[in-house]
Chain A
Amino acid sequence: MNRYRLPQIKRLLIALCLSSTLAPLAHAKQIDLQVNLATPVMEADRTHNAFIKISLEAIKQEQPQERIPANIAIVLDKSGSMQGDKLYHAKKAAIMAINRLGTNDIVSVVSYDSRVNVVVPATKASDTARIARSIQQIEASGNTALFAGVSKGSQELRKFLDMNKVNRVILLSDGLANVGPSTPNELGKLGLSLAKEGISVTTIGLGLGYNEDLMTQLAGFSDGNHAFVENAEDLARIFQYEFGDVLSVVAQGVEIHITCKNGVRPLRVLGREADISGNMVSTRMNQLYSEQEKFIILEVEVPAQEDRSNLELVDVDIRYNDLFNKQNEQLSSNVVANFTRSQKKIDDAVDTQTYEAAAEQVANEFNREAVEKRDQGDIQGAQSILQKSADYLDNLGQTLSSPKLIEQKEEALQDASELDDEQEWSKKRKELKERQFKRAKQQSY
């Protein structure tokens, strides 16, 4: 399926050509690119909406390799609301996580209330005892200058910013940003800008007081992780997961370019933000983790074709920075659909796994819409969307005989029934947002 194509951007032509032709000779590829069609065989003579799954997975290496150094900024909310248990556990979790780092890793700690304090400026994570002492001295008070906190955290990262390191801000907050910019949009924009530099922001929302939209936007646009932690005791576990993720990054700066061909029209990309311009679709992932599959689902409109014809639907171009080889790598692939009048052939050809993944994302979109409706106060509208989602999942789950989809259906029905509980809504919304985020980004924890 892989086929090299001429790069469209002259600027990168030479470098990419060199790397793409020489790379396979020098190294084993780290990343496996799969482009699959949920319905590889389609009915002829009519237009279709088809799901294409573009998945990337780091291949398990035979011989153990050195870990990729990390450059981490922990940004801790120390506003008044963090007082007591929350801050205690946050500090403990941060110290525990830092102890996992090696001497090649860089760590910095920033705390913020109304103002920002760089507790530990970017430093090698060798003297962890000293770092721990500094962290222990953090005391809670004041407001929440979240924007400035993230800014200063990313500034600490920039001191040792390196494309061959994993650059990550880990933000912990339990409250609404009330000093400086405070809208999800603004934080999202900041996240986007940081992502361009190769910095991801992982946001951990603690308790029920934080703004989940802001936190998911910030994490979403910078392609970090997001977690909702209701009890401070769970912080240690989440930090461990997060550091596990950070320490298993194998590739960064993954750019995905999709060109739709032969009159195929891109409709939408499920899960991730993507730019659709004409027949071009482009999106990016900040990093790929070892042994984790990340994918996007592209929905396209396929024009009617004759019986027994073949049609190349899309070309996929992937470029990424291989952290082990410290080189830019390129992968290409395409997908071809067959057309037939035989229903049996169509049914037999269905790629269950791909379809499952697509359905999961479609239902996730439904879920997102339902939350929007619920935000407008339309509980019934939200419930009917979830019901639609459940019906869709049920239908597909039966056809594909997929227990995973049936399970998701149950989940949708459960969500629908819990929508009208006003008191629990704040918590429920955070759960939903977190789940949506994790599904869309295939977060490992």
Chain B
Amino acid sequence: MKKTALLLCGLILIPILILGWLSVRLEQNQQQLIQHQFQALVEVKLQSVDNLFQGHFQRLEAVLKSEASVLNSDTETSHSPLALRQLIKASPYIEQIFILSPTRERVYPRHDNATAQELQFLQQTKTLLDTPTLFAHTQESLTTTQPPTANSVAPQKNTTPLQIAQAPYSAQLKSAPQTQRLTRSAENTRSAETEMPPLSTSSLEVVAADSHVASPTPKAMPKAEPTDSGWIAWYNNTQLQHIYWQTTPDNRVIGFAISRARLLSDLINLLPDQSEIASNHSLSNAVITLKNSRGELSYEWGDATIAADTLTPIKSLNLSHPLGSWRLDYATTSLNKPEQNWLEKLLILVITLSGLSTLGWLIYREQTRESRLALQRVNFVNQVSHELKTPLTNVRMYTEMLESQLDDEQVKQKRYLSIINNESKRLTRLIDNVLSFSKLERDSLDLTLQMGTVQACINTTLDAFTPAFTQRGIKPVLTSQCDTSVLLDPHCVEQILNNLFSNTEKYAANSGTLQIECWQEHDYSFIRIHDNGPGIDEYSSRSIFDQFYRASNKLTDGVSGTGIGLSIARELARKHGGDLILESTPSGACFLLSLHTPISLSHTAVKGNL
């Protein structure tokens, strides 16, 4: 029963474990896939913000270009400090303007005639303005540094960016649509995006030391034809600042320093506010933060229920030039909640487990019920057998008493009595077999060893069978060399022999001689019983020791039997430390019984090991 239970447990647990493992793997793969997709999606989202910013720089560039062209158009008074100051005053984007002569000498602002603001600007940009190579970029660097934005225009070498000069323009009150129109018209004149080399550590130290200018130098000296405009991003006190420069037709350089605060403000205005997010649900469970070159938070937008500072970003995007060193961080909580999926899988596992368990329990119950019933039946048979034994004993005893009191001449009565006696013996054997069978089944049969000879056992059994043998034309011939007294269980030996003789009696009627040999070797006794009956065919010989097996119908026609005799005989022989085997002979059936029969008690230990 225990075994069955264990088997059932295994049967339930193994599929569950496999299922569980598979679902874990599946879940992991799915998570990875989702994460990859998610990351890609986030990247696209962040990239679109970057594109938005690039668009702003393009618009700004167009605005500044038109400003420059207005300044350039009137060459007589162009670049007069007054006009420049007027422009600085009027344009919300421009913080300062500088002009470099064709030899890259600074023409404006001049130290001798500068306002306080201009002086400050000069101080900050001293190194920058003294590096004329910054304002001439090669075509190569141009192509290599073109940011991969969707709406950026392919770089064109175009040295006359004055096509939109006639557009009446005022920097004041520029509305967004107007700016966009300008951008479109300026697209074919768009020329360059330039890249600044990354801030080296040494220049960073310079910044830290005097809090002024980190002077970047171009990677390569310009050899090819210089382009005519570009963005310079430079660090002032670790804050990123921007200059847009352009060469004028008379080969001057005009540069616009962009108001940093205004730039950030404009960039922020390109980004959505909370009500926009709430209305289009674009960022559920996520926050995007814009960090400046110092890593300080400049702006954040996203799900109102999430605080950005409590989450670690899952994706960061460094913005394109000229906002390099700025970055966007995307933080979200949605990836941290796979419990839902787990729950589902766990539920499936639990359901499968409980289903299998129920099934297993039902099977187990069915089985135990059946075996209980079988046990009850065996017990019943046992009881009945026991109950039968007592009256049978009485029947035999009184039959024998009656037989002994009969006169010799009462032959008829004597014959009847001997039949009664034989039949009751047979019944006794049958009952003994049934009892032994049930004992063997329960493994509760114990041998009662005592001193005795094998020959005595054979004789006792033969005596009992003599009338039956005589009646059925069987003539037992005993060749015995077993008169040594050994330890054995006579009852057990007799029962084995009873079964064998009873078979002979049943199946080998009128077969003549029944040879019974008996010999002893060491601690073993052997008995061979060989009849001359029809024998046992090869097919049956494999199964004759199986319980409830009965040989061919033809043979058993008219012969009663239970089918347990030989199996009990073998079990008993094995119990007795020996065996019962069927030997092949040319005629009849030949059984060889071996028994462990030690000569003294000290030898029983040996038997225990067998």
Contact = CB atoms under 8 A, between A and B. Distances in A.
A308 interface: no
B85 interface: yes
B268 A151 contact: yes
B291 to A, nearest CB: 11
Contact of B83 (A9, A163, A196): A9
A11 B86 contact: yes
A148 B175 contact: no
A152 B268 contact: yes
Interface stretch (A183-191, A223-231, A234-242, A344-352): A183-191
Given A180-B299, A189-B260, A119 B275 contact: yes
A64 interface: no
A180 B262 contact: no
A116 B274 contact: yes
Contact of A152 (B86, B116, B269, B308): B269
Contacts of A275: 85, 115-117
B273 interface: yes
A264 interface: no
Given A189-B259, A190-B261, A118 B273 contact: yes
B275 A151 contact: no
B259 A10 contact: no
B226 interface: no
A142 B74 CA distance: 53
A443 B275 CA distance: 35
B77 interface: yes
A147 B269 CA distance: 11
A32 to B, nearest CB: 24
A196 B299 contact: no
A251 to B, nearest CB: 16
B92 A277 contact: no
A151 B269 CA distance: 7
Point out which of A119, A181, A276 has the most chain B C-beta atoms below 10 A from its C-beta: A181
Contacts of B260: 186, 189
Interface in A177-209: 179-181, 186-187, 189-190, 192-194, 196-198
A186 B93 CA distance: 14
Interface string B523-542: 00000000000000000000
B264 interface: yes
A179 B92 CA distance: 23
Given A116-B274, A180-B299, A187-B261, A277 B268 contact: no
Given A158-B175, A179-B297, A278-B113, A186 B82 contact: no
Contact of B264 (A162, A180, A277): A180
B269 A155 contact: yes
A9 to B, nearest CB: 6
B114 A277 contact: yes
A196 B261 contact: no
B276 A118 contact: yes
A117 to B, nearest CB: 4
A412 interface: no
A189 B261 contact: yes
Q: Using C-beta atoms within 8 Å of the partner chain, give the interface range for chain B.
A: 35 or more
Point out which of A119, A154, A179 has the most chain B C-beta atoms below 10 A from its C-beta: A179
A117 B275 contact: yes
Interface string A246-289: 00000000010000000000000000000111100010100000
A181 to B, nearest CB: 6
A161 B115 CA distance: 31
Nearest to A119: B275
A115 B274 contact: yes
B91 interface: yes
Given A8-B82, A189-B260, A118 B275 contact: yes
A161 B173 contact: yes
A151 B259 CA distance: 14
Point out which of A118, A119, A145, A277 has the most chain B C-beta atoms below 10 A from its C-beta: A277
A196 B298 CA distance: 23
B74 A193 contact: no
A284 B261 contact: no
Interface string B321-358: 00000000000000000000000000000000000000
A114 interface: yes
A161 B299 contact: no
A305 B74 CA distance: 41
B91 A116 contact: no
A152 B91 CA distance: 19
A9 B82 contact: yes
Interface string B265-281: 11011000111100000
A152 B85 contact: no
B301 interface: yes
Contacts of A10: 74, 77
Given A115-B300, A161-B173, A186 B92 contact: no
Interface string A106-131: 00001000111111010000000000
B5 interface: no
A295 to B, nearest CB: 20
14 contacts: A9-B83, A114-B308, A118-B274, A150-B265, A151-B265, A155-B269, A158-B176, A179-B299, A180-B264, A180-B268, A181-B298, A196-B92, A198-B173, A275-B115
Given A8-B82, A152-B268, A187-B261, 10 more contacts: A9-B82, A116-B274, A119-B275, A121-B275, A148-B298, A151-B269, A158-B175, A180-B296, A255-B89, A278-B113
Closest 9 CB pairs of A and B: A189-B261, A193-B262, A117-B274, A151-B265, A190-B261, A196-B92, A155-B269, A193-B92, A275-B115
